[in-house]
Structure 1
């Protein structure tokens, strides 16, 4: 029988006792300036009408396809990058997914919206059984309705921030598979510890659900191995608090992409990503939230260019596996500058 000790909440959908909930909406530790409807519309219009051409790769993204047999044979403490913020972790012989997005578009519809630069290295149907899915928040490039439904039968646990779990249950995921977390709450599954930690972001999938669910980062502890997954976040002093409580981290999976000077409070610039990694006491930095979707005004390869230069300047060890490439979490390799081949 699977050993699972969960210390998360099973609150009602309103989650009224969360310290992060104020007047029916979740807030950051330090409230961020409201975007406002008109500003949101202007930003969306600018993204739709003034995109430079190099926000999309000119050539094919390097991709290493994966098979179930390869994953099953892979050693423990392996990581496979599948795209954007989706990674597959093999820990203690079982598989965990972060923010699984497998659809062609990060959008409420599949006939419009940001389209993938590359196919997933493996399909959901070909994946081995999944022990658990970690979700950071409910935006379309992190919470994929079709992927969740396809994963529901082959996944034992869905670990999600408050309110996001309610959405999964509404979609048909069995309630006994879903656990919801406030910041600093933890779960232990087969000896692995997962802690939902603060992030500085926002949530919403439509016009009327802004900040009705929480957002989070995640700490993953496997005995002496520690991994951090940032989800989406602006830079804030919470990174130092997480680093003090759970660091040092062997690998930090850090948001590095889809940023803009107009939204610094909720998406980090590469300089802030690197500082957050240092705050976390990270040993190796792996940039994610890039290389798969066109979600901002910068060149698609700019996040890699900037974080590589910054890491070299500051002496930070950077790992940049290509899509589908295996990363050894115990002995990470730097990886090639694969993005240069498609510029």
Structure 2
């Protein structure tokens, strides 16, 4: 079983839901006009619901509520077709899925490495192998990259993809600086909420969600975060990335650009709620968001790969099924599946 490490690398370096001490200084990644979510120095969530600070982090880390996870969960890896004519999604793990739509291959927040960390010898380690081995990935036409936490922006994976496929990456403001520092010739399309990009046969709109950003101790909120509405030749796909529920606002924003055939919705890294609510929704909120989103189907993301928070590994799926039953929604409509599962969406 995995043992708790006090103030581990994940907490110190801003992985996933963990907060770190903010050091006030100028923005390292972005300079631009003031807006309703940028104050001239830092990005922020417009409703003012703040993420947690260092004292609250200490309180959480010393609370003793962290559940044991297995060190390893077996995975049957998929070997996808090179191209798909309709809409197919394969869950790879964490927030990474392969979306195959009308001949396009799109990856969300790709991480196929062992650790969600700036180094590959420490930090949160995955308990499931990627649902698709890197060597079996089909040619990737587009990456959508929601924010800069290490379990979403993984430089080793992005570098390998760039060297092999040279695909464009669509991401919100400030993340281009981080990406180009690591991969100078990466094709990055960077935008603000509601900006739209025509990329390789898809139309990608960046959407408001409720989260935060950091790669270290001195860059908190220096880059923006987002969700995506992706228009493909065979329908729209909503990629939520990471988000708090925020009274449903991220899903109400998304619904303006629907309806969607499929939504990729996070369900994990939510405990304890007093600490995580401003940054990650729980499964009940995920179901409520699905109902608001105008999506026909949903795939659960962001659970069971890296232990970032207190809940047991299987708790997100158990709680999702309870919430679906209470809402009268079939588990075949909002699916939580093991990595490597291939899902052909109904017409």
Match of 2:346 among 313, 321, 330: 330
- Residues 273-314 of structure 1: per-residue CA shift (max 9 Å, x gap): 111111112221221101211111111101001111211221
Kept after mapping to 1: 8 A contact 2:267/2:300: yes
For 1:251, the equivalent position in structure 2 comes to: 262
Q: Choose 29-38 or 156-165, whichever is displaced more.
A: 29-38
Q: 1:302 aligns with which of 292, 309, 315?
A: 315
Alignment of 1:37-76 (within 5 A): 37-46=54-63, 51-53=66-68, 56-57=69-70, 60-61=73-74, 63-67=75-79, 70-72=80-82, 74-76=84-86
Change (3 A) 1:38 1:325: same
- Taking only aligned residues, the RMSD between alpha carbons, in angstroms, comes to 2.1
1:78-227 aligned within 5 A: 78-153=88-163, 154-175=165-186, 177-223=187-233, 225-227=235-237
Following the alignment from structure 2 to structure 1, what is the Cα–Cα distance between the partners of residues 87 and 71?
34
Separation in 1, partners of 2:100, 2:44 = 33
- How far apart are 1:240 and its partner, in Å? 4.5
Which piece of structure 1 moves more, 197-206 or 111-120?
111-120
Structure 1: which 5+ residue stretches go unaligned? 1-11, 332-343
Cα gap change, 1:59 to 1:104, in 2 (>3 Å): closer
Structure 1 residue 23, shift from structure 2 partner:
3.7
Q: Is the 8 A contact 2:84 2:103 kept in 1?
A: no
Structure 2 counterpart of 1:289: 302
Deviations 1:290-339 (A, max 9, x none): 121111111110100111121122122222332112111335xxxxxxxx
Cα distance change, pair 58–240 in 1 and its aligned pair in 2 (3 A) = closer
Q: Distance in 2 between matches of 1:103 and 1:149?
A: 12
How many aligned positions are there? 312
Residue 41 of structure 1 deviates from its aligned partner by: 3.6
Query: CA–CA distance in 1 between the matches of 2:93 and 2:184?
Result: 24
Match of 1:27 in 2: 44
**TM-score normalised by length of structure 2:** 0.83
**Please, which runs of 5 or more residues in structure 2 have no aligned partner?**
1-27
Q: Are positions 1:17 and 2:28 aligned together?
A: no
CA contact (8 A) 1:28 1:200 kept: yes
Task: Summarize the Cα distance change of 1:38–1:99 in structure 2 as closer, same or farther, 3 Å threshold.
Answer: same
What SS class does the counterpart of residue 21 from structure 1 fall into? Answer: coil
